[in-house]
Chains A and B, each alone.
Chain A
Amino acid sequence: MPISQKVPNFTAVNYCNSNRSMSKETPKENPELIERLRDQQTCREAFGEVIAKYSEPLYWQIRRMVVNHDDANDVLQDTFLKAWNSIELFRGEAKLSTWLHKIAINESLTFLNRERKRQNLSIDDEASMLVNLIEADTNIDGDYLAQELRKAIAQLPEKQRLVFNMRYYDEMKYEQISEILGTSVGALKTSYHLAVKKIEQYFSNLD
């Protein structure tokens, strides 16, 4: 779905449209950026910098969950729209990246639930839905083992899938994952360990 179709009509009194140019320089996560995001004169430009910086890591996080590129694109748009519309709620207590990752995960899970309901599938059928999507995915480089690993990850429960993706692919620290998912480090380590065991089991069954 094109972005323009997703954009709701706003009848705002005060607008922030002072500057439409987007800085190519990657901003550091600092209080100054947060202040610029809150200032109606600079918010659009600052948010452009946020999009430029975070679109790639957020895309991969979303893509690993929803599998399909077009779906990941839609969910990424929704993520940034949600962040844009609720930037005032971001108090700066957590990192901006943590806040954006939380929104991206919520949007991904919402999308998967919606898809499951649309296809009239139970929660146990989610794995087969994802495997079908993986097999139908055309945006791949043809690596057989990487493809099988994606299928193995698709068999994992939702939480383990999230933890495994963030730990294995994004190489996030457990402390950071803990902030995003709101789960203790110990529980995350257990989830990751179980996920690795299940993936090993999947590959041993393939042999």
Chain B
Amino acid sequence: MEKSSEILDKIGRKSGMTVPEGYFADFASRMTESLPERQFNEAAHKRTFWQKIRPYTYMAAMFAGIWCMMKMFSLIVQGGNVDLSIDNYPVLQTALADDSFVDEFIYSEINRYDIIEDIYEADINPEELFTLVDE
């Protein structure tokens, strides 16, 4: 509820403005008489095919967008749960089962220094190891 204003209550809703006598009746008839001829544009009333299907097109596009978003989301979520074990990759499994592949492509890249370092990191004395190899 609006608070009433003392001064506005005192003045009232009378604006104090006047119009010449008979102005409104005269205006209505003059204005109606002077209306210009207007070309009727039938095309404005007829809805084009695109205007008719536009809301359905937008709705279909919106649903397609939501579907794509859901699909992407599910792929991302699934990506986190994929089993990364070697059993899941038969091609790699076959390749690693082949000794020549391992010798050629994996061991050839490793030098003696790397092997000794790995042995040290595993807390094994390399001299003991060499002794065992010699025996």
Contact = CB atoms under 8 A, between A and B. Distances in A.
Interface in A64-91: 64, 69, 73, 76-77, 80-81, 84-85, 88-89
Contacts of B38: 10, 12, 15-16, 43, 84-85
A149 B16 CA distance: 9
Contacts of B20: 69, 139
A150 to B, nearest CB: 7
Nearest to A47: B35
A22 B45 contact: no
B28 A146 contact: no
Nearest to A79: B31
Contact of A139 (B17, B39, B45): B17
Interface stretch (B2-10, B50-58, B109-117): B2-10
Given A47-B32, A84-B36, A147 B16 contact: yes
A31 B95 CA distance: 80
A77 B5 CA distance: 35
Contacts of A171: 13
Interface residues of B, number: 34
Given A22-B28, A59-B24, A63-B17, A199 B37 contact: no
Given A17-B37, A56-B24, A44 B11 contact: no
A133 to B, nearest CB: 12
A103 to B, nearest CB: 14
Given A76-B27, A139-B20, A140-B17, A44 B34 contact: no
B28 A48 contact: yes
Nearest to B7: A203
Contacts of A81: 35-36
Nearest to A137: B17
Given A8-B36, A47-B35, A199-B8, A55 B14 contact: no
B39 A168 contact: no
Contacts of B19: 59, 69, 139
A203 B10 CA distance: 12
Contacts of A56: 24
B68 to A, nearest CB: 33
B74 interface: no
A117 interface: no
B39 A199 contact: no
Interface in B18-70: 18-20, 24, 27-41, 44-45
Interface in A185-202: 189, 192-193, 196, 199-200
A9 B39 CA distance: 12
Contacts of B7: 199-200, 203
B15 interface: yes
The 6 closest A-B pairs by CB, nearest first: A146-B16, A12-B39, A48-B32, A3-B34, A88-B44, A143-B16
